[in-house]
Amino acid sequence: MKYIKLLLTIFLATDLFAQALPIRNDNASTNLRDLGANLNVGRNFAVDQKGQIMCGGSGATSLGKAEDTAATSGDIGVMDLGVVNNAYAGLADTNLDYVAQARTTSGASHVMFSTDMIPGGSEAKIPYRTEDSAFADTSSVMMAGGVNNRNVTAFNITQGDVVPLGVNDFGAVLVEITQQAQSSSLSPVRLEDAALADGYGVIMSGIQAVSAIAQTVGSSGDITVASTDLGNRLVTTNAPAGEMWQSCGTATASTADVAIKAAVASNRIYTTSITCASSDADNATNINFKDGSTVIAVGGVNQMATTSAGTFTATFTTPLRGTSNTALNFNTAVSTSSVICCAAGYISTI
């Protein structure tokens, strides 16, 4: 009986020892009870054949969790703890050390751009900018991505969706002018016959202000813009008011040419009106008006009575157009009386 009690005591001691402690022999890491046996039945931890602690499976009450397993209320796990580091103080670690996650007092993780992450470690290469900070040639920025939409097709989106920028092959952002509601005074589009009130938005047409007319288009058929003079008056002739002229020639009783308006370099002389008068009561006199030496209009001074001088007046709805850098002249076709002529018009390069 004594021997039976001794053997039972040894057996029980061995079994408890085998459940608690794995040992290593010359052949493999094993325990005293059974190779490959799980000695931790009903417990959270177990010891494998090599003496390593296992998580006791992947159930709701186990520390291990299987990938893609849904979480449920009351699941057991290991808390992921961080270190509160509001002062951004450096932790006592070196490169490749394990390091604690820096947190705020509310448990939020610190996230920041670091020069350590950028080759060269230059602060100018950090891809964010503070308001009003100067930008240098070497500074980096976050790239704003766009979607190539050269065909300008609609994205598969609905109202309220986040939409990427559409760009063309050159990276230029596509811009579309859309009509706002007509009730909006800022709408740049107006319906035909709609009343315009103060403060309404409109699309301005391009108009250039000029002090003197000049040939600004490259060739016939080019797109150009309307012009105003410096007084904001629309130019409806070939020259603004600053290019208008009035001039008189000297009195003559000769068939030789007399200049009414001298030649203007690189400009044409346009004539809109001419007046002439005879200095005596002689016979009627014919007058030639000439672009240089070429007659472009004619007139005559007729006596109103035998004792009065005659006059001539002409207004041209379509101005007389001279040749560039050529004078406007007149002469008397019959040298029987002294005649003086004056004219008005404008000059232009075109």
Q: What is the pLDDT of residue 38?
A: 45
Q: Find the range with the poorest average confidence among 61-70, 101-110, 175-184, 241-250.
A: 175-184
pLDDT above 50 (res 74)? yes
Please tell me the pTM assigned to this model: 0.42
Distance CA 287, CA 306 (A): 20
Q: Find the range with the poorest average confidence among 73-87, 104-118, 326-340.
A: 104-118
Retrieve residue 202's tokens.
Answer: 């409109």
Question: For 22-43, how does the pLDDT look when each residue is reduced to its tens digit (9 = 90+)?
Answer: 444 444 444 444 444 444 444 4
Mean residue pLDDT of the chain comes to 75
pLDDT above 90 (res 261)? yes
Virtual CA dihedral for 218, 224, 229, 231, nearest 10 degrees? -150
Q: What is the pLDDT of residue 192?
A: 75
Q: What is the pLDDT of residue 2?
A: 57
pLDDT above 60 (res 300)? yes
Distance CA 341, CA 284 (A): 15
pLDDT above 80 (res 182)? no
Q: What is the pLDDT of residue 344?
A: 96
Q: What is the pLDDT of residue 40?
A: 45
Residue 129, phi-psi category: left (phi > 0), alpha (psi -120 to 50), beta (remainder): beta
Rounded mean pLDDT, 262-280: 90
The answer to whether 268 and 347 have CB atoms below 8 angstroms apart is yes
Q: What is the pLDDT of residue 150?
A: 87
Q: What is the pLDDT of residue 128?
A: 65
Per the model's pLDDT, the better-predicted residue between 171 and 126 turns out to be: 171
Q: Find the range with the poorest average confidence among 64-78, 175-189, 250-264.
A: 175-189
Q: What is the pLDDT of residue 54?
A: 54
Residue 207's pLDDT band (boundaries 50, 70, 90)? confident
Rounded mean pLDDT, 140-146: 74
List domains and CATH numbers for the chain: 26-55 (no CATH), 241-348 (2.60.120.40)
Sequence-separated (6 or more) residues with CB below 8 Å from residue 84: 103, 104, 105
Q: Find the range with the poorest average confidence among 69-73, 206-210, 227-231, 306-310.
A: 306-310
